[in-house]
Amino acid sequence: TVAPGSIIQIGPLKPSLTTTLQEDFGALVAPDGDDLLPYLAQHGKNIEIVMTSGRVGITSPMMEAMPKLRAIINHGVGYEKTDAVAAAERGIAIANTPDVLNDCVADTAVGALIDMMRGFSAADRFVRRGDWPVKGDFPLTRKVTGCHVGILGLGRIGRAIAKRLEGFDVTISYHNRRPRADVPYAYAGSVRELALRSDVLMIAASAGPAAAGLVDREVLTALGPHGFVVNIARGSIIDEPAMTELLASGGLAGAALDVFADEPNIPEDLLNMENVVLLPHLASGTIETREAMERLVLDNLRQFLTDGTLVTPTA
Ligand code: 8YV
Q: What is the C-alpha separation between 145 and 133, in angstroms, rounded?
A: 29
pLDDT in 10s for each residue of the chain, 315 residues: 788 889 999 999 999 999 999 999 999 999 999 999 999 999 999 999 999 999 999 999 999 999 999 999 999 999 999 999 999 999 999 999 999 999 999 999 999 999 999 999 999 999 999 999 999 999 999 999 999 999 999 999 999 999 999 999 999 999 999 999 999 999 999 999 999 999 999 999 999 888 999 999 999 999 999 999 999 999 999 999 999 999 999 999 999 999 999 999 999 999 999 999 999 999 999 999 999 999 999 999 999 999 999 999 999
Residue numbers of the domain that contains 59:
7-99+288-307
Q: Which of 263, 274, 288, 291 is catalytic?
A: 263
Query: How big is the CA angle at 261 (ends 259 and 266), to the nearest 5 degrees?
Result: 75
Is 218 an active-site residue?
A: no
What SS3 class is residue 188?
A: coil
Is 148 an active-site residue?
A: no
Nearest CA to ligand 1 atom 2: 76
Plot region of 125 (φ>0 → left; ψ -120 to 50 → alpha; else → beta): alpha
Q: Does residue 122 sit in the same domain as residue 244?
A: yes
Pocket of ligand 1 (CB under 6 A): 53-54, 75-78, 101, 284
**Ligand 1 centroid from CA 105, angstroms:** 10
**Ligand 1 centroid from CA 137, angstroms:** 39
145-164 pLDDT, tens digit each: 999 999 999 999 999 999 99
Q: Does residue 193 sit in the same domain as residue 274?
A: yes
- Report the predicted TM-score, pTM, of the whole model to 2 decimal places: 0.97
pLDDT value, residue 218:
98
Q: Does residue 95 sit in the same domain as residue 110?
A: no
Q: Does residue 129 sit in the same domain as residue 15?
A: no
Domain count, the chain: 2
Residue 313 resides in a domain: no
**Ligand 1 centroid from CA 225, angstroms:** 31
Q: Does residue 175 sit in the same domain as residue 60?
A: no
Residue 295 resides in a domain: yes
Residue 141 resides in a domain: yes
The residue type of 200 is V
Q: Does residue 14 sit in the same domain as residue 139?
A: no
Task: Write the DSSP assignment of 54-88 as a string of letters.
Answer: TTS---HHHHHT-TT--EEEEESS--TTS-HHHHH
Q: Does residue 273 sit in the same domain as residue 180?
A: yes
**Ligand 1 centroid from CA 133, angstroms:** 41
What is the helix (H) or strand (E) element at residue 295, kind and residue range?
helix 287-307
Nearest to 173 by CA among 192, 155, 198, 196: 198
Nearest CA to ligand 1 atom 9: 76
Measured from the CA of 78, which atom of ligand 1 is nearest? 6
DSSP at 304: H
Q: Does residue 55 sit in the same domain as residue 179?
A: no
In 70-148, alpha helices (H): 84-89, 102-118, 120-128, 131-135
Q: What is the C-alpha separation between 248 and 258, in angstroms, rounded?
A: 19
Q: Does residue 209 sit in the same domain as residue 76?
A: no
Q: Does residue 116 sit in the same domain as residue 129?
A: yes
Is 175 an active-site residue?
A: no
The CATH number assigned to the domain holding 63 equals 3.40.50.720
Q: Which of 75, 159, 234, 290 is catalytic?
A: 234
Residue 315 resides in a domain: no
Are 202 and 193 in contact by the 8 Å Cβ rule? The answer is no
Sign, CA dihedral 186-192-197-202, equals positive
